[in-house]
Structure formats: structure tokens, C-alpha cells
Amino acid sequence: MAEVKAKIVKQANAAEASIDASTQEMILRAQQLGVETVFDRAVTMKPCAIGMQGICCKNCAMGPCRLPLPKDGIQGEDTRKGLCGATANTICARNFIRMIAGGAAAHSDHGRNVAITFLAAAKGEVDDYKIKDPIKLRAIAPYYGVATTVEEDGVVKDRDIQEIAIAVGEIAVAEWGKPTGSLHMIKRAPQPLQDKWAEQGVIPRNVDREIVEIMHRTHMGVDQDYKNLMKQGTRASLADGWGGSMIGTDLQDVMFGTPSPLQAEADLGVLKDDHVNIIVHGHEPLLSEMIVAAAQSQELIDYSKEKGAKGIQLAGICCTANEVLQRHGVPPAGTFLQQELAIITGACDAMVVDVQCIFQNLANVAKCFHTKLITTHPIAKMEQPNVLHIEFDEHHAMEDAIRIVKIAIDNYENRGSEVMIPRHKSSQIAGFGVESIQYHLGGSFRGDYFTLNDNIINGRIRGIAGVVGCNNARTKHNDEHIRIIKELIKNDVIVLTTGCSAIAAGMHGLCTPESAAVHCGPGLAEVCETVGIPPVLHLGSCVDNSRILLAATEVVKAGGLGNDICDLPAAGSAPEWMSEKAISIGQYFVASGVYTVFGYHMPVEGAPVFKDYLYNEMENMYGGKWDCEPDPIKHAHLMIAHIDKKRKELGIDTARDRVLMDMADRQALGME
Ligand code: BF8
């Protein structure tokens, strides 16, 4: 092991830091080796109390202006103001929507890169990307305003797939900057929801414009009305969920394949001491797809054997993990907070990173081991000399991937003696999506959401929860995710999960059909057993939260549960959120009609009026609203109480006979 430069100021208590046996073991291992991790830094550095409450304004050089709440709360008029006169509500709303801008930008730029590569693939300008799922392309083309048939001599024929791909690609790329009109994907939402958005004036025009406008409005001395600021925040968040993210998911599926259920493992124990271990970490699957193909090639497997290994073990961290898991069964090695620990195993021969959620400290940790840390994205470099930058380019994607895999193989022989891979890993079934839920719950013959709706109406399934998002070193790693999910499924609420929450669920064995008998209430257990699905369905990465929006829309369309997403017995949760992307996701869920509960804290406590706007008034506008509850059991029961309230409003609060709508009813609601 190379000389350790970092000195651990205060050591984290491993048992208090995480519920995972693997994580606890590796925290102790890191401390034994003198390698500092995020868990130790979280003990040393405390968050700023004013910043946490959202009431520090640093948008001009007269500040930062800090507006702490008076000790005895606000009595009478709130007279707090910054140098320019900005109130706590204005400052808090500005900070909040700047987080939305950051999150929407990250998701949407990912989507843009996918769309650009998709168009190049459609035009035949790149060799390594193809249209892998023409069925999905035909299915989505109409949403992009692209015809899938042509009429020739009075005969209607299927349009050439490449022609469709080019047309979809051109329209998709234009969504980021078209001068007029509004985003095409908005039309995929239930009509009543589209009507609400129109009434509130929040239909996104193009993706980039909504993000730029947030930066303008929050510049010193522009928008000073917290409601008007939030209007723009909502519009930008919709440009993320129903725009950049949705396009990203669509086109990734078309290029790389639409996920379908598959078996895999999860946790740090997926690394192998006799294999070349390569970890892909970050978000965009453009490169990781190529690395999967390279690592599976016989030529490189043989090369790894020549170098003394038994083969190549690919694994993932963060949402790249979810992307390659969903489509190839590549196991996730861990969540966001386990990224340093993967290197500390001493068995990671290369960690390949692109964008988002990548600790700068990885370079310091990699210095202590033999791991080659490789950055690949032009917008995300590290300044440290031990970090290799191999800039990925879609025009020579496979060449880049082969080069990277070879570097990892060549590095295998440099492993030190300090290898310690935790034994822990779990099995999981991942790879769910709108299409596979349809297939599994409706069957290949009916192929629809009727069965799911039927089971919600008859009460076997009490409701649907989306549990998503990050880890946060300020909370006990994975504890909130797992306790909330277990409490929900115990109460017959089926869980759809993405992001690091999904990785956590997989690591804790909740994504298997067998877990239903152990953890679920009798109704959900019966459904899972009959249909053969896990009670926790892994829907992919954070960009794939768009799949949850579309699944909810399919449930509305199937009928019997109201006319809009806000009518459904459903709720959302981000128990351990930390990223700006989570705030953007939260807001587009709220604006799509979902009661959305965050754990840890919300950065709005310092502006009670603005907080009330998010937590209460927003429901009158969109049918969804924010809430926050750090206690996992109370958190789950807030969601369950909301689900029960919706069941009561729908008149299905007591088990009753099937009351599904027929085609005429659905047409009357404008859903066909
Ligand atoms: O986009 S859940 S920690 S990895 S931000 Fe990051 Fe949060 Fe994980 Fe994926 Ni999402």
C-alpha cells in the first residue's frame, strides 16, 4: 500500500454509520489502514445550520446575508431581510429553485448526450451504437410527433426504422433549445394533469430555457415573489421529469435494450479476489455499455487470463450500476456512500467514472491503493496527478472501452497484499420497467395494468409507493431506505424503487419474490406469490424516475382509480436524499400529483411561509405536496395514511368487487 497521506481527525463509529455488514467492515478496515472516508468526515464537519434552513443568500457580493429565525420563533410580522431587502421567503425560494436548476441540468444534460448519440447512431455516423429495440422505437415515435407508417399507392406500410430513428432523434435533440412550442413528452401525462399545468402556466417550453430562466430569476434583484419563483422551479422540474430524463430513458432503451427482469447480485461481496475487478461509477450509460461489451469479449477475457486472473468482474456504483444492472445483470457493488469503500477493498483494479455523485476524495483514496482511477467525461475532470483522463468519444467508443479494460487488466498484477473483500452479497431480481410491469401483472395476452388495478381495488395491494434517491452521510447509511420499504410492504404497499434506494433494497434482499413471504402483509404477499414478482420492483437509475411517472399514468389509464395521478392511492419518498437532483425529482413528482415525503430534513425550515406553500398550498394546484419526516416508521405511516385517504376518496377503503372501467368509460375520460 502506498503511503497514506490523509490523517483521520475523528473516526466514525461503524455500527452507527451504516446498517450494512459490508459497509461496517470496510469502514473499520479503512480506519485500520488510516484511510479517511466520508463517514469520518461527517463526524468531523458539521453542516451549517443557517444553510440547512435555506436562509443564507450568497447571490451577490453584498452578502452572504444570513437570516436566522428568532430564538422564540416569529412573533407577528417577519421583519428579517437581507441588505437588498430580500425576505426569508424570497431567499429560501431562490435557493430551492437553484437546487432544482442544478438537478434538472444534471439529468437533462445526460438526456441530451444520449439524444445526440442516438441521432448519430440513427444516421449511421457512429459504428458502436445501434437501434437495439425497434419495437420500443415504434411505440414511442408518436409521442415525438413521428409517424410510424407511410401510405404508398393506397397501402399503409410500416415506415423504415432508420427513417423513424432519424426523425425521433432530430426532434429529441431539438427539445433542449427549440424556439417555440412546448415539450412533446408533456402529452404523455393524463389529460387532467396537463390541464392543471396549463392553468398554472408551467408547461415547459424547452429544457435549456427553463434552467437558464431560473438562473436569471434568482440573480440579484430579479424575481422577488416566492410563488412566482416556485412557478419557474416547477416548470424546470417538469422539463426534467417529463422532458430530459424521459427522453434519456426512452432513447437509452431503444439503443441499449428495454430492461426486462433478470437475476443478479448486489453489495461489495460481488468483487472477486481472483478476477480483474472493474467498477463503473457515475450516470451516463454511453460508455459503460461499451465497457460491458468489452469486458465480455473473449479476447479480453483471454487477455485477463494471460495476466493471471480467472476473468473479469464488472460491477457498478451509483446510477451507472443501475443502468448496467437493468440491461445486463452487472451487479452493483454498492450505493453512493460505498464508493470509497470499493477501492479500500484493495481489489478494485480500475474505477471508471463519468459524471455526478463522484467524490473528489476518490483520488486521495486511490492514491493509497493500486486502483487506476479513470475519468472519462470532458465536463468532469480531477486535478490529481494519479488520475488518468481518457476522454470518451462516441465516435470511437469501443476503442476507448477496450483501452480502459486493458488498463485494468494490466493493473491486476499490481494488487497489494491488503485485499479484503467483504463476503456479503445478496441475490435480486432487477430489470423492471413500464413494459415489464405490464407484462408481469397483465400477462402476455392482456398485457395491461388491469391486474394491478384490480388488486389495488380489491385491497390486496393497499397502494403504490415510489421510494427513491440517495444516501446521505448525515443519516445512518441505508437505514431509512430499508426500514421505510419494509414498513410499506408489511402494510401491503407495493414499492417501485430507483437510484441508490434500489441498490440498497437489492443489497438487503428485498428485490426477490421470496422476500414477499417474509416481509409483506398477506395481500401483497399473495399477489407477489401468484404473479412471481418481488414486492420491491427495481425500475433503474434516477433518470428512470420517468418510468415511475409513466407507470402511474398507465395505472390511471387502466381505470377504476380516478382520472389523474393525484387520485391514485400512491405516495413518493426520498428517505436519505442529498443531491440537487432529488429536489428536482421531488418537485416534478409533487407537480405530477404525488404526495412526496423526504427524510433527513428539507432546506425550507427558515422560511415558514414558503414551507407552507410547498407542504400545503401546492396540493390545491397540482394535487401533490411536499412533506418531511426523518423517522422512518413515521415516514412510512405518513405515506400509508395518504394512501388510505385516497382509497377512501375513491370509495375503495373496504375490500370490494372489481369495478374496472370498460372501453366506453375510458373513452369518456379522454384516455383512449
Ligand atoms: O442519480 S440516488 S446519490 S447516484 S443522485 Fe447520486 Fe442520489 Fe445515488 Fe444517481 Ni440519484
List the one residue out of 512, 511, 538, 564 whose CA is nearest residue 431.
538
273-316, pLDDT tens digit by residue? Answer: 999 999 999 999 999 999 999 999 999 999 999 999 999 999 99
Q: Is the CB of residue 468 below 6 angstroms from any atom belonging to ligand 1?
A: no
In this prediction, residue 672 carries a pLDDT of 38
Q: Is the CB of residue 500 below 6 angstroms from any atom belonging to ligand 1?
A: yes
Cα–ligand 1 centroid distance for 336 (angstroms): 7
Nearest ligand 1 atom to the CA of 319 is 9
Please tell me whether residue 280 adopts helix, strand or coil conformation.
strand
Q: Which residue's CA is the nearest one to ligand 1's atom 6?
A: 357
Beta bridge partners of 387: 373
In this prediction, residue 440 carries a pLDDT of 78
How many C-alpha atoms does 66 have within 13 Å on its Cβ side? 8
In this prediction, residue 657 carries a pLDDT of 41
pLDDT greater at residue 410 or residue 658 = 410
What span, in angstroms and rounded, lies between the C-alpha atoms of 248 and 580?
A: 18
Q: Is the CB of residue 318 below 6 angstroms from any atom belonging to ligand 1?
A: yes
Query: Which of 41-45, 447-451, 468-472 shows the lowest mean pLDDT across its residues?
Result: 447-451
In this prediction, residue 441 carries a pLDDT of 74
Please state which CATH class domain 88-256 belongs to. Answer: mainly alpha
Label residue 665 by pLDDT band (50, 70, 90). Answer: low
In this prediction, residue 669 carries a pLDDT of 43
Q: Which residue's CA is the nearest one to ligand 1's atom 9?
A: 319
Ligand 1: residue of 467, 579, 598 to mutate (most ligand atoms within 8 A of CB) is 579
- DSSP conformation letters of 126-166: -SS-----HHHHHHHGGGGT--SEEEETTEEEEPPHHHHHH
47-81, pLDDT tens digit by residue? Answer: 999 999 999 999 999 999 999 999 888 889 999 99
Cα–ligand 1 centroid distance for 470 (angstroms): 5
pLDDT reading at 93 higher than 70: yes
pLDDT reading at 10 higher than 60: yes
Cell for 30? 479503512
Label residue 437 by pLDDT band (50, 70, 90). Answer: confident
Per-residue pLDDT averaged across 84-93, rounded? Answer: 98
pTM listed for this prediction = 0.95
Q: Is the CB of residue 542 below 6 angstroms from any atom belonging to ligand 1?
A: yes
CB atoms within 10 A of CB 446: 12
In this prediction, residue 662 carries a pLDDT of 55
Indicate if 434-654 has the same CATH topology as 88-256.
no
Cell for 667? 373513452
Cα–ligand 1 centroid distance for 222 (angstroms): 32
Cell for 339? 464508493
Contacts of 553 (CB under 8 A, 6+ apart): 188, 189, 190, 565
Cα–ligand 1 centroid distance for 542 (angstroms): 6
Q: Are strands 149-152 and 155-158 parallel, antiparallel or unpaired?
A: antiparallel
What span, in angstroms and rounded, lies between the C-alpha atoms of 503 and 314?
A: 16
Q: Is the CB of residue 470 below 6 angstroms from any atom belonging to ligand 1?
A: yes
Nearest ligand 1 atom to the CA of 498 is 2
In this prediction, residue 654 carries a pLDDT of 81
**Under 8 Å between Cβ of 43 and 10:** yes
Q: Is the CB of residue 319 below 6 angstroms from any atom belonging to ligand 1?
A: yes
Taken in order 181, 185, 191, 195, the sign of the CA dihedral is negative
Q: Is the CB of residue 577 below 6 angstroms from any atom belonging to ligand 1?
A: no
CATH number belonging to the domain at 434-654, selected among 3.40.50.2030, 3.40.718.10, 3.40.50.170, 3.90.1150.10: 3.40.50.2030
Please tell me whether residue 465 adopts helix, strand or coil conformation.
strand
391-432, pLDDT tens digit by residue? Answer: 999 999 999 999 999 999 999 999 988 899 999 999 999 999
**Under 8 Å between Cβ of 111 and 98:** no
pLDDT reading at 660 higher than 70: no
- CATH number of the 268-414 domain: 3.40.50.2030
Q: Is the CB of residue 579 below 6 angstroms from any atom belonging to ligand 1?
A: yes
Sequence spans of domains, the chain: 88-256, 268-414, 434-654
Q: What is the percentage of the chain residues whose pLDDT exceeds 90?
A: 91
Cell for 191? 389529460
235-268, pLDDT tens digit by residue? Answer: 999 999 999 999 999 999 999 999 999 999 999 9
Mean pLDDT of all residues in the chain?
95
- Sort 135 into a burial class: Cβ within 10 Å, 0-12 / 13-18 / 19+: exposed
Please tell me whether residue 626 adopts helix, strand or coil conformation.
strand
Ligand 1: residue of 279, 319, 326, 355 to mutate (most ligand atoms within 8 A of CB) is 319
Q: What angle do CA 131, 135, 139 make, to 5 degrees?
A: 110
Nearest ligand 1 atom to the CA of 469 is 2
Determine the distance from the C-alpha atom of residue 228 to the mean position of all C-alpha atoms in its chain, rounded to a whole number: 27
pLDDT reading at 24 higher than 60: yes
**Under 8 Å between Cβ of 629 and 642:** no
Q: Is the CB of residue 469 below 6 angstroms from any atom belonging to ligand 1?
A: yes
Cell for 502? 434500489
- DSSP conformation letters of 312-368: EEEEEEHHHHHHHHHHH-PPEEE-GGGHHHHHHTS--SEEEE-SSS--TTHHHHHHT
Nearest ligand 1 atom to the CA of 471 is 3
pLDDT reading at 7 higher than 80: no
**Under 8 Å between Cβ of 646 and 132:** no
Q: Is the CB of residue 357 below 6 angstroms from any atom belonging to ligand 1?
A: yes
Nearest ligand 1 atom to the CA of 357 is 6
In this prediction, residue 658 carries a pLDDT of 42
**Under 8 Å between Cβ of 202 and 234:** yes
